[in-house]
Every structure is written in C-alpha cells, then in structure tokens.
C-alpha cells in the first residue's frame, strides 16, 4: 500500500487506490491492464513509494462489484418525478442489451448530465419488441 490513509479493514488496498482505479476505468477509459501501470506512474509523480499494485484480476473485480452495487441501489437517488429512457443499441454476438435509464423529469435549464442518470435495469436477449419493453418497464 502506498499510504495507510483510507485503509479498509481486511483489504490489502486503500479506499483511495480502489476509487482511483475505478475512476481510471470509468472516466479515463483505461483498460484493465493499463490501470495498475497508471497508478504506478501517479504514485511516482506524487513522490510516494510505489508499493504493492493491484493486479488485473483485482481491478476487474472492483469494476464488477461497483457495477453490481449500482444495480442493487437502482432508483434510490432519483427524484419522485423522473423519466425512463430505454435503449437497445448495444449488441454482442447475437444478443442485445436492453438498458433502462432514469433521468429527472425537470432538467433545471441544462442538458441532462451523466451524473443525473441512473441505471434502472438491464436485460439481455436476442431482440426486444414493444411488448418486451412494456414488460420491462412494469417490472422495473
């Protein structure tokens, strides 16, 4: 560990290291393999001892857990009045992802920001018709 601040009990890495790795993945678009290297460079430039660096598998686990936590807390930060945006544009192989996003119905005079949206649900299938979308809306 580079520093002891933000230590999480029973974890090898600090909360700061974990959050930094997540931010490198989500906001900078770094690959899983490049994240430990980027963390190493940041420590060196800040004058810290490099210390232990997370491996690729650890970083993948953090990213997956962060996504799961996001889904488990779906809808909790939305205002009472919100709109649902459905999208089916992502496809992998023969499957498509139906994504449901919640956004505030009042935009306070600006375009909707990423931080204002919330994932309400995801479903994978070969295709989604209007009945499928309606069922998804009713259950989420």
DSSP annotation string for 24-73: HHHTT---TTHHHHHHHHHHHHHT--------HHHHHHHHHHHHHHHHHT
Answer yes or no: is 90 within a domain. yes
Residues 98 and 123 in one domain: yes
Distances (CA, A) of 44 to 5, 19, 39, 48, 51: 17, 18, 9, 6, 10
Residues 101 and 134 in one domain: yes
Answer yes or no: is 4 within a domain. no
Answer yes or no: is 7 within a domain. no
Residues 118 and 91 in one domain: yes
Residues 63 and 92 in one domain: no
Residues 48 and 87 in one domain: no
What pTM does this model have?
0.51
The token pair that represents 71 in the structure block: 């889904």
Q: Scanning the structure block, which residue is given the tokens 């800040």? A: 46
Answer yes or no: is 23 within a domain. yes
Answer yes or no: is 66 within a domain. yes
Q: Which of 33, 53, 72 is the last residue of a domain?
A: 72
Residues 49 and 96 in one domain: no
pLDDT in tens, 114-126: 778 888 878 888 8
Counted domains in the chain: 2
Read off the pLDDT band of 92 (50, 70, 90). Answer: confident
Answer yes or no: is 9 within a domain. no
The token pair that represents 111 in the structure block: 């375009």
Residues 68 and 93 in one domain: no
Report the pLDDT averaged over residues 97-114.
81
Report the pLDDT averaged over residues 93-118.
81
Read off the pLDDT band of 9 (50, 70, 90). Answer: confident
The residue range of the domain holding 68 is: 15-72
């Amino acid at each position: 560990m580079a520093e002891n601040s933000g230590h999480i009990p029973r974890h090898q890495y600090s909360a700061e290291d974990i959050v930094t790795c997540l931010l490198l993945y989500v906001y900078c678009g770094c690959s899983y393999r490049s994240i430990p290297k980027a963390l190493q460079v940041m420590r060196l430039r800040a004058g810290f001892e490099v210390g232990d660096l997370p491996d690729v598998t650890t970083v993948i686990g953090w990213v997956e857990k962060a996504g799961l936590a996001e889904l488990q807390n779906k809808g909790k930060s939305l205002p009472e009045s919100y709109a649902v945006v459905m999208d089916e544009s992502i496809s992998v192989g023969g499957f498509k992802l139906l994504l449901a996003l919640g956004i505030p119905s009042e935009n306070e005079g600006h375009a909707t920001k990423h931080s204002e949206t919330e994932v309400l649900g995801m479903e994978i299938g070969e295709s989604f018709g209007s009945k499928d979308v309606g069922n998804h809306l009713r259950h989420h």
